[in-house]
A = this chain, B = another copy of it.
Amino acid sequence: MKLVKDLPEVFEEFAEQRKNSFLAVKKVKDNGKPVVGMYCTYFPREIAQAAGAATVSLCSTSDETTAEAEKELPKNLCPLIKSSYGFAITDKCPFFHFSDLVIGETTCDGKKKMYELMARFKAVHVMQLPHNQSEDSLDLWEKEVIRVKDIVEEKFETNITEERLEEQIKLENRIRKAFKKLASTMAYDPTPMSGYDYFKVLFGSTFRFDRENLPEELESLADKVMEEYDETREKKPRILITGCPIGGATEKVIKAVEDNGGVVVSYENCSGEKNYDRFVEENTGNPLKAIAKRYINIGCSVMSPNENRYKLLGELIDKYKVDGVLDMELQSCHTYAIETTSIRKYITEEKNIPYISLETDFSQADIGQINTRVQAFLEML
């Protein structure tokens, strides 16, 4: 497959994907396909897809509905959780509206308890994500994976065969591989595209219902990006973004980096590498166990200890020749906030590069402040 569109057009399409999918999700439903809404990278979407359902990331990235959420949730709570709940309770998220089933996980305190409230007005199933990645925890998580399969089967009155599971495992692995290929282009210095364009693809693709088209499309995009690679582009300080999920309102952080002369070469967070790092092992004869193994190993700060985050960070810093790390925390996210202490130490003392931690929320009130801090950070690189 060869992309016929120009790159700017492709990036713009991905940027518009979320909005365009508002109509698409209705079509999906009109065609009789069930929809499973998800909030978190820990959800093994293969399972829902193997039941013939579409999976979609639910609205949680703007403060449009925060005031409504704060009528029931504490103000001092992570903006992502308030946003998720706000869109749900106001029914302003088409993806939520059309979801037949919403899957949550006991990732963090805030989400875990918020889902209890959400379950009063929506079909919500919460998977128990353990606190670490030990063998005992894997056993528990595998049971949760089996349970969510049972629940999806029951909900949609269907049978999830091993064959269908393997199909979805292979599809999602191909998508991961394609993302990795696209990501790899950012290893070049200068980069062949801006970090923001790269991000549009990452974020936009979470709202695509035709996932089967993604692998080829992403690979073609990566090819085209390299075909048009211009080595004479300006070399810029190379930033890796880690921390809480990014997207929507928090894209202000990406812009702050790139408006001030830097380039984001890698996203270690759930919007990026965490989402496509690690493959599900194929053809094991036990696809659910293979799924459980892959997903439990995501290096989110809710894990304690969280060695996989350090490992992935280290690899990405080396691969993408990173000059500085920006750790974005969402307000009141205790696990990421506390982990900054050890992450800072790791980045500055073991990887020997500068580190900045930025706390923000979904308002745009702190853009000036963020720009000032990011500018100062870039100047010292």
Contacts of A131 in B (CB 8 A): 106, 112, 128-129
Contacts of A110 in B (CB 8 A): 334, 338
Using an 8 Å CB-CB cutoff, how does the interface string of A115-133 with B read, 1 for contact, 0 for none? 1110000000010111110
Task: Give the number of copies in the complex.
Answer: 2
If A77-B334, A112-B304 touch, whether A128 touches B130 (CB-CB below 8 Å) is: yes
Contact for A341 among B73, B134, B139, B144, CB less than 8 A: B73
Q: Which of A300-327 contact B (CB under 8 A)?
A: 301-302, 304-305
> Is A332 on the interface with B (CB-CB < 8 A)?
yes
> Is A163 on the interface with B (CB-CB < 8 A)?
no
> Is A371 on the interface with B (CB-CB < 8 A)?
no
CB distance A114 to B338 under 8 Å? yes
Contacts of A304 in B (CB 8 A): 106, 112-113, 115-116, 126
For residue A208, give the distance in angstroms from its CB to the closest CB of chain B.
31
Could you tell me the distance between the alpha carbons of A77 and B76 in the complex, rounded to whole angstroms?
10
Contacts of A108 in B (CB 8 A): 109, 334
> Is A337 on the interface with B (CB-CB < 8 A)?
yes
Contacts of A77 in B (CB 8 A): 334, 337-338
Contacts of A139 in B (CB 8 A): 140
Q: Which of A183-203 contact B (CB under 8 A)?
A: none
If A128-B137, A140-B140, A332-B334 touch, whether A341 touches B117 (CB-CB below 8 Å) is: yes
Could you tell me the distance between the alpha carbons of A107 and B35 in the complex, rounded to whole angstroms?
33
Question: Which of the listed residues A74, A110, A115, A341 has the most CB atoms from chain B within 10 Å of its own CB?
Answer: A74
CB distance B140 to A334 under 8 Å? no
Contact for A302 among B109, B302, B335, CB less than 8 A: B109
> Is A339 on the interface with B (CB-CB < 8 A)?
yes
Could you tell me the distance between the alpha carbons of A335 and B334 in the complex, rounded to whole angstroms?
12
Could you tell me the distance between the alpha carbons of A332 and B117 in the complex, rounded to whole angstroms?
19
> Is A12 on the interface with B (CB-CB < 8 A)?
no
> Is A275 on the interface with B (CB-CB < 8 A)?
no
> Is A331 on the interface with B (CB-CB < 8 A)?
yes
Contact for A76 among B76, B113, B340, CB less than 8 A: B76
Using an 8 Å CB-CB cutoff, how does the interface string of A286-311 with B read, 1 for contact, 0 for none? 00000000000000011011000000
CB distance A332 to B128 under 8 Å? no
Lowest 8 A-B CB distances belong to which pairs?
A113-B338, A106-B131, A74-B337, A109-B334, A110-B334, A109-B109, A112-B304, A109-B335
Query: Knowing that A73-B341, A113-B304, A116-B338 are A-B contacts, what are 15 other residue pairs whose CB atoms are under 8 Å apart, sorted by A's residue number?
Result: A72-B341, A74-B334, A74-B338, A76-B331, A76-B332, A77-B334, A106-B131, A108-B334, A109-B109, A109-B302, A109-B335, A110-B338, A115-B304, A116-B305, A136-B140
Q: What are 18 A-to-B residue pairs whose CB atoms are below 8 Å?
A: A72-B341, A73-B338, A73-B341, A77-B338, A106-B132, A108-B109, A109-B302, A109-B335, A113-B338, A114-B338, A116-B339, A116-B342, A117-B341, A128-B137, A129-B131, A136-B140, A137-B140, A139-B140
